[in-house]
Amino acid sequence: MLLFKNATILNDKFLFQKGDLLVENDKIKKIGRDLQADGAEVFDLQGKYLIPGLIDIHTHGCAGRDTSDGNYDDLKTMSRFQAQNGVTSYCPTTMTLPEEVLTKVFKGIAKYVKEENEGSNILGINMEGPYFSAAKKGAQNGAWLANPDVAQFRRLNKAAEGLIKLCDIAPELPGSEEFIREVKDEVKLSIAHTAASYEIAKKALELGVCHCTHLYNAMSGMSHRDPGVAGAIMDSDARAELICDGIHIHQAVIRNTYRIFTDNRICLISDSMRATGMPDGEYDLGGQNVIVHGTTATLKDGTLAGSATNLMGCVKKAIEFGIPMESAVKTATITSAEEIGEDDKVGSIKTGKQADLVVWDKDLNVEMVFIKGKKFK
């Protein structure tokens, strides 16, 4: 058993409260005042914050490793790095690649989920590509772009043993409407890497798309006469991902997006690539060369290519930009957990939920990390 005393706890209403928290086995047993438990390991968290472990539903890689390499041991390295930085659950995210490569990657992830339990938990897979527009492919490899294909998706999800939680599409592509109708009850569909108009995006949302990948990035722009994809997402109930690394989106847009969407509809993500946590240099992303300087990752032509920031860094940036601490954490935990259907297990500090917890000091540095009730850091 673990007993946390005198903590400032971010509760399941995402309000801070003073109190104690008891963990038994891998679950949160009790939250309250003056808790006692014989034999428990006690942590005095006076002056410290206790928050839910973060959940990154869009991350390609970190620590020199990448999901799309399809290497089993790389998942171990990535999971350890994520956990070290307070990300206790994540969805490995693929790139636009040939079907045979994606099949290998998905089989490897499914095998890892069944066999390993070290570091951050893998909750599912984010399938980013290949159903994208060439005009907005960004750092996706144009050689392997394809139109939405129901049979192919089902083959890939079978290889993944049903682990695909998000599947991204550009809704203007041929076959998109049929694809949405066919698979919307099998996977969460997300608008991504698209040149769609407001009208096309709105129709896709009406048909069953309910998510937007890295809002504002790799999509048609928004103006007062042509609201584009972003305008359609704002007009819907869909949730939207935000990359808050200080590079992909201006801080004023971050603040206003939180005002429009509220913290119920934003999923804060990192979109991190293998250079995250690594020195400046050149790295591979989906078969293309990426130049990394600081937290900026670009192709040689200057196109942004994911980020070199982990999700905890994005939460801190959001707070720096003026987002309330409670909202910044909420959008990196429970909103993402809800979006992939895992909120009954993780995403908030609540009795009965998995004990995935992060201890912050007063300066928001990660001091300790607990995953399934075991101390990782």
Question: What's the pLDDT score for residue 293?
Answer: 81
How far apart are the C-alpha atoms of 182 and 356, rounded to whole Å?
35
Tell me, which fold does domain 2-50+352-375 have in CATH? Answer: Urease, subunit C; domain 1 (2.30.40)
Question: What's the pLDDT score for residue 289?
Answer: 81
Q: Where in the chain is the domain with CATH 3.20.20.140?
A: 54-339
Q: Which of 153, 257, 175, 171 minimizes the C-alpha distance to 209?
A: 171
pTM attached to this predicted model = 0.95
* Annotation marks residue 271 as catalytic: yes
How far apart are the C-alpha atoms of 274 and 267, rounded to whole Å?
21
Q: Which of 215, 192, 218, 191 minimizes the C-alpha distance to 204?
A: 191
| pLDDT tens, the chain, 377 aa long | 999 999 999 999 999 999 999 999 999 999 999 999 999 999 999 999 999 999 999 999 999 999 999 999 999 999 999 999 999 999 999 999 999 999 999 999 999 999 987 899 999 999 999 999 999 998 899 999 999 999 999 999 999 999 999 999 999 999 999 999 999 999 999 999 999 999 999 999 999 999 999 999 999 889 999 999 999 999 999 999 999 999 899 999 999 999 999 999 999 999 998 989 988 888 877 777 878 787 787 787 778 777 889 999 999 999 999 999 999 999 999 999 999 999 999 999 999 999 999 999 999 999 999 999 999 98
Q: Point out the catalytic residue in the list 56, 271, 343, 356.
A: 271
Q: Which of 114, 178, 172 minimizes the C-alpha distance to 152?
A: 178
How far apart are the C-alpha atoms of 377 and 372, rounded to whole Å?
13
Which whole-number Å values give the CA distances from 143 to 77, 133, 134, 278, 351, in the listed order? 29, 12, 9, 28, 49
How far apart are the C-alpha atoms of 344 and 302, rounded to whole Å?
41
Please give the order of strands across the beta sheet that includes 164-169. Answer: 125-127, 164-169, 188-191, 211-212, 239-243, 266-269
Question: What's the pLDDT score for residue 286?
Answer: 74
Q: What is the CATH number of domain 54-339?
A: 3.20.20.140
Alpha-helical runs (H) found in 224-287? 228-234, 251-261
**3-state secondary structure (DSSP) of residue 105:** helix
Identify the burial level of 34 via C-beta atoms within 10 angstroms of its C-beta, where 0-12 means exposed, 13-18 middle and 19 or more buried. Answer: exposed
Question: What's the pLDDT score for residue 298?
Answer: 79
**Which two tokens mark 76?**
């171990």
Q: What are the φ and ψ backbone dihedral angles of 207, each rounded to 5 degrees?
A: -75, -25
Question: What's the pLDDT score for residue 121?
Answer: 97
**3-state secondary structure (DSSP) of residue 298:** strand
Q: Which of 346, 130, 326, 330 minimizes the C-alpha distance to 242?
A: 330
What is the radius of gyration, based on Cα positions, of the chain? 20
Question: What's the pLDDT score for residue 68?
Answer: 94
Question: What's the pLDDT score for residue 183?
Answer: 98
Which whole-number Å values give the CA distances from 151 to 99, 154, 164, 189, 251, in the listed order? 12, 5, 15, 16, 41
Alpha-helical runs (H) found in the chain? 72-84, 99-115, 150-159, 176-183, 198-207, 228-234, 251-261, 311-320, 325-330, 334-339
Q: Where in the chain is the domain with CATH 2.30.40.10?
A: 2-50+352-375
Question: What's the pLDDT score for residue 353?
Answer: 98
Position 245, amino acid: D
Question: What's the pLDDT score for residue 294?
Answer: 78
How far apart are the C-alpha atoms of 366 and 48, rounded to whole Å?
10
For 225, which DSSP code? S
Question: What's the pLDDT score for residue 36?
Answer: 94
